[in-house]
Amino acid sequence: MFHIATFYKFVSLENLRKTRKRVETLCLKNDAHGTILIASEGINGTIAGPSDGIAAVLDGLRSDPCFEDLVVTYSTASEPPFLRLRVRLKKEIVSLGVGAVDAVHRTGHRVSPGDWNALISDPDIVLIDARNDYEVAVGTFAGAINPGTRSFTQFPEWIASSPEFASKPRIAMFCTGGIRCEKASAYLKDQGFDDVYQLDGGILRYLDTVPEDDSTWDGECYVFDRRVSVGHGLLPGDNEICVNCNRVLGAADRSEDGYVEGVSCPACVDSITEDRRTRFAERQHQIELAKQRGTSHLGSSIDAI
């Protein structure tokens, strides 16, 4: 069993190289794999490994006063979600594309998963899914607006070009783990929106704590690792990624003509180049051989935040 921790913290950091080295050493010492981003505005990451190793990494992080109240969501998987460790220095831990946004001191009201259903049932609330279009396609809350963005940097433009936001309505936002809403809510505050709310801990915490019978979530939640998606209880879902076009493929997609595991899907089978088809087919062959040997093939990983 692999234990997974998704975490972030907006906090002013100064010695980034020293922080990176310390975080990387903690992960290597405790057999934790995953991706962690560090910037002057804070830290954002998902790591996986043995239970005691993940606990040791988080305890080590929280021993630094900057990270003592780190926001963490836990889950598990039977297969390794990550096969590598990547600790990177970035300009931002999540990029909104509008320059400086103070997500350390100025954000929306956090709403617990237990209070979320009551909030979004209010007819005066405008509910926004702050994720990208391909994520929304896997699952979302009933009645949520899909901005149709391909990247988070398009969110400000979407707000500015949508006339329904000119009156500065009450807004409730959600995203995977909470980090994008943290920054988007700070941006909206800067734009004059007074009543902005965000799902504390994001969709992951909601799916982990709200009973399925009480849930208003429809579908699964896209995650940026080899699980691809999770459902209620944060159990791994039944989706995979097309390696050629990056579309999310459900069971129905995989039953259609044109789906070739590890090579193509019905949407791209007619456009994939022969070079890519050959390379992907050989890669998939090596993955199958690795499975037969009981080992992992590094080329099969999806390592991203």
Structural domains present in the chain? 2-89 (3.30.70.100), 109-219 (3.40.250.10), 249-300 (no CATH)
Orientation of helix 113-120 relative to helix 202-209, angle to 10°: 100
Q: Where in the sequence numbering do the catalytic residues fall? A: 175
CA 204, CA 209: separation in Å to the nearest integer?
Answer: 9
Ordered per-residue pLDDT tens for the chain, 305 residues: 999 999 999 999 999 999 999 999 999 999 999 999 999 999 999 999 999 999 999 999 999 999 999 989 999 999 899 989 999 999 999 998 887 788 888 889 999 999 999 999 999 999 999 999 999 999 999 999 999 999 999 999 999 999 999 999 999 999 999 999 999 999 999 999 999 999 999 999 999 999 999 999 999 999 999 899 999 999 999 899 999 988 899 999 999 999 999 999 999 999 999 999 999 999 999 988 887 887 655 544 343 33
- How do strand 33-39 and strand 85-89 relate by DSSP bridges? parallel
Q: At which residue do the structure tokens 């009201």 appear?
A: 109
Task: List Cα–Cα distances, 133 to 7, 122, 137, 149, 150, in angstroms.
Answer: 23, 25, 6, 5, 6
Task: List Cα–Cα distances, 270 to 133, 249, 256, 263, 282, in angstroms.
Answer: 23, 17, 13, 12, 19
CA 44, CA 180: separation in Å to the nearest integer?
Answer: 11
Confidence (pLDDT) at 163: 93
Task: List Cα–Cα distances, 218 to 57, 141, 154, 231, in angstroms.
Answer: 33, 6, 24, 9
